[in-house]
Amino acid sequence: MSETAIFLASPIGRRFSEAYDALVNRWPPGTRRFDLASPYGNTHVVASGPDSGRPLVLLSGSGATLTEWYSVIGQLSRRHRVYAVDIPGQVGASTPSSTPISSVPDLLDWLAVTVATLGVDEPTLIGHSYGAMIALAFAGGGFPTDGLILVEPNSVFGGMRPEYLAHALPILLSPNENRERRFLEWETGSRPLDEQWSDVAALGATMPTTKLVIPRRLRSVRPEVRRRTVILAEQSRVHDVARIAENVHSTWPGTQVEIVADATHHSLPMYPDVFGDVLEAALDESGC
């Protein structure tokens, strides 16, 4: 039995799966769940929206899982065909193979295989945090990309605050449910987070994972994607938002920048409610 299977069979793992499933069950009628095979494992996909809609691929923050998009999926899927994915080997419902993702080329190849298997030629990628880093690296690697919406991309347009790294370090060294909950409460300033999603994030912190592959040197990656928006959280504790916005304008001219009031790095994309409107406006602005 794999480490993932052992975890999912444990009391904590069962609670994790129950919270995960409960969130996905809140997605719009007609939503489908399925797995796609790849050399790196099975990729769990949740798809919603009209088949004729422009394809959007949602890439989540590390540890957040695809369930973090629950509050905006209804709005996005009215006009678009939306695919949310979990990365094999990371927290979520995907499962790694015996040859897991172990390098940036592997990571980008996994996404390319996933997109191709979905039958999508040029996706619009919407990535949050770590997912934004993957989206940028993918477009910068020359893979066909119709649009980019980067939500709170870290280590792309500037460094991370030492205070944030200090609070995150205990979780990186020894993750557990209570530490994850305290960390989220600190970063979000006790803003209202959905209880089921908080359970997914906190319980998922103890899930066995493969090595997290992080795209590097992204500060020089500025692909010529015609449609691109960077969305920042006004109260983010990850970085200096004003400086990040300035760096986006100076290093990637023509990129739309939106700052969401009362939002933090980890409250997005769930809070505030206006975030769905911000995403829709970004898609309209880009012609998506």
Question: 144-198, pLDDT tens digit by residue?
Answer: 999 999 999 999 999 999 999 999 999 989 999 999 999 999 999 979 999 999 9
Is pTM beyond 0.75? Reply is yes
Q: How confident is the model at residue 226 (pLDDT cuts 50, 70, 90)?
A: confident
- pLDDT exceeds 80 at position 205: yes
Q: What percent of the chain has pLDDT over 70?
A: 99
Q: Tell the burial category of 249 from Cβ atoms under 10 Å away from its Cβ (0-12, 13-18, 19+).
A: middle
Query: What gap in Å lies between CA 130 and CA 112, rounded to an integer?
Result: 17
Residue 287: pLDDT above 70?
no
What is the rounded average pLDDT of the residues 191-210? 96
Q: Tell me the pLDDT band of 286, cut-offs 50, 70 and 90.
A: low
How far apart, in whole angstroms, are the C-alpha atoms of residue 169 and residue 188?
A: 17
- Assigned token pair, 226: 């015609």
C-alpha distances in Å from residue 123, one per residue of 55, 65, 160: 6, 20, 29
Residue 2 has pLDDT above 90, yes or no: no
The pLDDT score that the predictor gives to residue 190 is 79
**CA 222 – CA 139 distance, rounded (Å):** 9
Is 288 in contact with 258 (CB distance < 8 Å)? no
- The tokens describing 225, both together, are 């994607």
Q: Which residues pair with 250 in a beta bridge?
A: none
Percent of the chain with pLDDT over 90: 94
What percent of the chain is helix, strand and coil (3-state, nearest 5)? 40, 20, 40
- pLDDT of residue 255 exceeding 90, the answer is yes
Q: Over the stretch 43-63, which tens digit does the pLDDT of each residue have?
A: 999 999 999 999 999 999 999
Distance CA 128, CA 246 (A): 19
Helix crossing, 195-204 with 11-24: angle to 10°? 140
Q: Which domains does the chain have, with CATH numbers?
A: 3-285 (3.40.50.1820)
